[in-house]
């Protein structure tokens, strides 16, 4: 399986993302996690409930493999997001 792993953590006053070629801070990665866990899951349920069997295949986004966030004093301080690498799996 091919995965894309994104890890962001808050270090003092600056946000750091430990992944090559992508510049994202904790806030942006946390937002991306919420899109996967809330919006895409609800949209997938909606499409799956339709009579047309093809409707569930209308949403073609990378599959969510794993997500995790750490908080301190009600602030998100670190995020981990693992998604499917569609460049390899959905050719």
| pLDDT value, residue 21 | 39
Average confidence score pLDDT of the chain: 78
Count of structural domains within the chain? 1
Expressed as residue numbers, the domain containing 84 is 3-89
What was the pLDDT predicted at 20?
Answer: 43
Dihedral sign computed on CA atoms, order 25, 69, 33, 89: positive
Tell me the Cα Rg of the chain: 15
What mean pLDDT comes out for the span 60-78? 81
In the predicted structure, residue 26 carries a pLDDT above the cut 70: yes
Q: Where are the beta strands (DSSP E) in 18-74?
A: 64-72
Q: According to the model, what pLDDT value does residue 12 have?
A: 62
pTM of the entire structure?
0.69
Under the banding of pLDDT at 50, 70 and 90, the label for residue 35 is very high
């Amino acid at each position: 399986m091919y995965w894309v792993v994104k890890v962001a953590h808050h270090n003092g006053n600056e946000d750091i993302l430990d992944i090559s070629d992508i510049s994202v801070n904790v806030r942006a990665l946390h937002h991306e996690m919420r899109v996967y866990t809330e919006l895409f899951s609800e949209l997938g349920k909606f499409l799956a409930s339709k009579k047309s069997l093809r409707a569930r295949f209308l949403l073609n986004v990378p599959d969510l493999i794993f997500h995790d966030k750490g908080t301190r004093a009600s602030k998100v301080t670190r995020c981990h997001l693992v998604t499917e690498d569609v460049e390899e799996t959905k050719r």
